[in-house]
Amino acid sequence: MGSEALRMIAKQEDLELAACLDRKNDGLLVKDIDGLPAFDARIYEDMEECFQNVEADVLVDLTTPEFGYKHTKTALEYGIRPVVGTTGFSDLQLEELSNLAEEKQLGAVIAPNFALGAVLMMQFSKWAAKYFPDVEIIERHHDNKLDAPSGTAVKTAQLIQEVRESKNQGHQDEKETIQGARGADIDGMKIHSVRLPGLVAHQEVVFGGSGQNLTIKHDSFHRESFMSGVKLAIDHVRKLDVLVYGLENLLE
């Protein structure tokens, strides 16, 4: 994802790469790394050292929940607006980061998914849930993904919760003969996570009704699919003075 972000920046006339953060290659230039664009920007291992030496407007973080939280907090403390594609933040962490962004009067964007098609899939699912309250979510990702269910699946369920009354789905006497067979449960909705080599990011939201099913599906076949959303968030975050969670809040 980081490499894709660099390639996206290289194509944009209105963006300039100030520096990179990486857990290795400290002191090298981006152009010194095979396969990356020929940027003269320096690579840092230490975030605070980077922020103390480099002037930047925006931090793009595409790491993990643990480090994404630390990076977002540090960026705000240094007056840099974060755009974060990491999932798995707790409600407490989001509240703390939101309060910090408001205190600093800095924009921040945290998006469970930067693919615009996935954002629309979530919005369509919220609309459909008004009429089809029985729903299950199946998300499929590559086998190196660390969190399950995905942030996109959780965000989808949360959006559906806004328009759907709580209900337990399936037979009242249903029993799992193998624990976890019915998947995770959010407000009576089931979420199923698949992790396999060859996958990137895929989700289908399956609605059931009398005599019919409705499936809303999105597939990302390449990480390039997320870059249009990253660019959208970079453009908007500089106009914000609060934290926004979810790319759908930036769409007209």
Catalytic residues: 141, 145
Answer whether 113's CB lies under 8 Å from 155's CB.
Answer: yes
Question: What are 15-21's contacts with CB under 8 Å, separation 24+?
Answer: 15/231, 15/234, 17/41, 18/54, 18/55, 18/56, 19/43, 19/44, 19/50, 19/53, 19/54, 19/56, 20/44, 21/45, 21/47, 21/50, 21/71
Helices (H), the chain: 2-11, 47-53, 65-77, 91-104, 116-129, 151-161, 227-237
Token pair for 171: 């037979």
Token pair for 24: 């290795």
Q: Which residue has the tokens 């609309």?
A: 127
Helices (H), 130-203: 151-161
